[in-house]
A and B are shown apart, each in its own frame.
Chain A
């Protein structure tokens, strides 16, 4: 299994540009999520999904869209990039939303918005 994969690893955008961060998992996990990590802020949940076709907002959803058309993929779209979205983005997945199934994390995407 490849686990959780994210592309690209690094990205530089200009203010106002849009882009999609890709996330895929091959573990047939039900739950997938996106976080952003900023210094001193820990990981903040952007959006999450409890299954194909179902998504919901997390703590910091503004400026981001998601969709979950398949179990495997959970892309994150930046609609109009802003410097405040400069961050490291992590995708994670978990077998189930119930019980103590842990999350598995991707390697991250480092995004800079100029």
Chain B
């Protein structure tokens, strides 16, 4: 069965610090992978996606993610976090349906 694990429920970083959010997946084939962001009271917005090719993908708002097949991971990174990045982040894998992780809540302190 397909599944997505986000091991960090909550992360706090200082503004300007680097960020890495972890995502591991269980899937029997080459997956389509996504990261979404949800601001409070809002729907989900796509940050980036991976489907093939270069394993380092760039997204919006300065985010990037790296697909590592050997580790079944698709971690999200940002070199310098801004206060506006405080939100909930979801990793997802797609077969026909989309399977979402439980999310990581990011707090940014000044």
Contacts and interface: CB of A to CB of B under 8 A. Distances in A.
Interface of A: 4, 31, 33, 35, 40-45, 48, 50, 58, 90, 92, 97, 99-100, 102-108
Nearest to A43: B100
Interface residues of B, number: 23
Contact of B51 (A4, A45, A99): A99
B22 interface: no
Given A105-B43, A107-B42, A107-B43, A100 B97 contact: no
Given A43-B100, A107-B43, 14 more contacts: A41-B102, A42-B6, A42-B90, A42-B100, A42-B102, A42-B103, A43-B44, A92-B44, A97-B96, A99-B51, A100-B32, A100-B49, A103-B98, A105-B45
B73 to A, nearest CB: 18
The 5 closest A-B CB pairs, nearest first, are A100-B51, A105-B43, A42-B102, A43-B100, A100-B32
Contact of B44 (A33, A90, A97): A90
B43 A42 contact: no
Given A99-B51, A102-B49, A48 B97 contact: yes
B34 interface: yes
23 contacts: A31-B96, A33-B97, A33-B98, A35-B100, A41-B102, A42-B6, A42-B102, A43-B100, A44-B100, A45-B98, A45-B99, A48-B97, A90-B43, A92-B98, A97-B96, A100-B49, A100-B51, A102-B46, A102-B49, A103-B44, A107-B42, A107-B43, A108-B42
Contacts of B99: 45
Nearest to B4: A42
Contacts, number: 52
B86 to A, nearest CB: 17
Interface in B3-36: 6, 9, 32, 34, 36
